[in-house]
Structure 1
């Protein structure tokens, strides 16, 4: 059995979901306490803030709408994407209870409590890791699941699912592809940042998983002197390597690429590898990493989403706006097809997964997600696909 959302929808339930969902549709499966009944609780309060949609199934949408810095910009783009998701889902039986967490854990906790009082069966958001922790404590106590947008794997747990772009997925995909192309000796030059620590750990694990070896790992700071010193230490050891993992973003990569070239690094001899932070026009033009491979969601889905978003809101979406779009689309699809089991653990962690604007994804029971990623190459300053994203994720291995 194959469950599909209407053909106009970009998010579908993939093959195999139907069998699993049919098997549990009459019971109380899922995480204990996750009883998402079709009828809202009689004691639910009336919504006290903005809402999107007018369906019978209530879902909290918790975002940093008035946070300081870039938080509010991100939060409002996520809100717009949620609105667009409902508008593009004919007859969606959802009401989104829109709550502003102000970008703080205290605000997120209060917003969650308010949404739950108003009958929310599922919480979508928040964005920042400390806020996810605060929301998780409240939602878990009420027996309601959370689909949050943080990429910090430390805040995922059973019932607290992260719909984001975990850097570990990027690393696993590009190392697997490089290994399949015969690369067996890997070096790394990673930033001395929280992101750098995460991808360094994932890099070491991925290389080991593919029976390859790590030749050397060097770390660099944000200033050019630190970059130059790291490159000088690194390059002599590259004689034993056939690939160099350099997960530097658009702010660092142009300068880092220059010092690598000055130190004698030749990308034609030692294949450069990166992560999704390379999916940037400024990175694509860096001479030192031409020919390099990196993993990222297929760009076609986001480009299509972005075009519709710009037409609707007369502005460009942030890159992560698709996360909110997919979360709301998923909630609407499950509300339509799964009855009382719609947000149960067995439904949300179905191994067949779901297909969204950024390709296929699935939630693991531990709250992390797996994505089908493409492998892209930097070629003459352009970004081209060399290995397409999979259309399904295959058997679960964890």
Structure 2
């Protein structure tokens, strides 16, 4: 139920969970999964002193604003959620006025900052990890094949910055949409076949594009066995290894062991397979629990939320940054025919993250 409060040992620390519980379409099922994941974190931590108070945003800015007002009235010390950027903006106005921090699930960085922290996976933030790893394996000269999308533009900008800071170069570039995919692939293939020095091909594409793109790459003589393919977290989807051209490709992502363990516990508790975003609900609640033993007024302070050591969760290490964005400690995975394999482990602390 939207207003059902889940209480731990004493429930003395109130944490509100703002989600589009009654929104139309798939949003309500995502909200349900995030809520159940948060509940699972409470179960796993053996009744911490937290009352988790769900609030229905209805998936609208007005609903989010009302939910935030209700949360503040209830005495919430921390707000988890909402999900959508417009909801976050509306709820944040209320939360900031009351001095209540928010840990939201939107991936739009425009809504971050000034007490709003985004726990979501943010576009482009994983790119330095894969570039650093590729360079450590001797890859210095890159080709880029990028989709003509907002995500593609963000990923390419992050890639250019990471390559430049590492002393590499990216002399070959092509971009594609649904209509010119073949010509873009041929442009890259022509550069490789001409003898141009290319050590790796950066492909910031995902489940929408790769199944159509990979066969064209193979037909043009481009496979990861010939030119090292490197991707982003967009590659982290089931059956990515079903595309032969991608076998041997590298990409950054959380260690799958964390997700697999979480998914098994979730399924055993609630039935059904959780959507991938559900881990954010678990990790947000875990973070809230880990800080709940601090003194009142200091539990969710700026210094506590942005502590340099970060927090460990389903998806590995994560730390909230002063600007409201987040940084993650990621592994490097290699695409295999069955399931991907970790070839460079995620860091165990942020002190070692710089030594990838």
In the TM superposition, what are the counterparts of 1:255-334 in structure 2 within 5 Å? 255-334=212-291
Structure 1 residue ranges without an equivalent (≥5): 1-47
Contact 2:96 2:114 in 1 (8 A): no
Partner of 1:89: 45
Partner of 2:320: 363
Contact 1:285 1:382 in 2 (8 A): no
Partner of 1:147: 103
Deviation sequence 1:213-252 (CA, Å, 0-9, x none): 122232211x3x4211211222223433211111222232
Instruction: Report how far residue 193 of structure 1 moved.
Output: 1.8
Instruction: Report how far residue 396 of structure 1 moved.
Output: 9.2
Which stretch has the larger CA shift, 304-313 or 263-272? 263-272
Equivalent pairs counted in the alignment come to 348
Which stretch has the larger CA shift, 188-197 or 285-294? 188-197
- The 1:353–1:274 alpha-carbon spacing in structure 2 relative to 1, beyond 3 Å, is same
State whether structure 2 residue 116 is matched by structure 1 residue 160: yes
Query: Relative contact order (alpha carbons < 8 A, sep ≥ 6): 1 or 2 greater?
Result: 1
Structure 2 residue ranges without an equivalent (≥5): none
Instruction: Report how far residue 341 of structure 1 moved.
Output: 0.9
Partner of 2:186: 232
- The 1:226–1:338 alpha-carbon spacing in structure 2 relative to 1, beyond 3 Å, is farther
The correspondence for 2:5, drawn from 51, 62, 66, is: 51
SS at the partner of 2:207? coil
Deviation sequence 1:320-379 (CA, Å, 0-9, x none): 211111111221221124443110000110101111111111111111111110000012
Contact 1:249 1:283 in 2 (8 A): no
In the TM superposition, what are the counterparts of 1:120-199 in structure 2 within 5 Å? 120-199=76-155
**CA distance in 2: counterparts of 1:395 and 1:283, whole angstroms:** 29
Contact 1:215 1:240 in 2 (8 A): no
Contact 1:351 1:395 in 2 (8 A): no
**CA distance in 2: counterparts of 1:88 and 1:326, whole angstroms:** 12
SS at the partner of 1:248? coil
Give the root-mean-square deviation of aligned CA atoms: 1.8
Contact 1:127 1:149 in 2 (8 A): yes
Partner of 1:67: 23
**CA distance in 1: counterparts of 2:246 and 2:114, whole angstroms:** 39
Instruction: Report how far residue 265 of structure 1 moved.
Output: 1.7
**CA distance in 1: counterparts of 2:64 and 2:13, whole angstroms:** 21
Partner of 1:45: none
SS at the partner of 1:342? coil
Partner of 1:250: 207
Partner of 1:10: none
SS at the partner of 1:168? coil
Contact 2:218 2:245 in 1 (8 A): yes
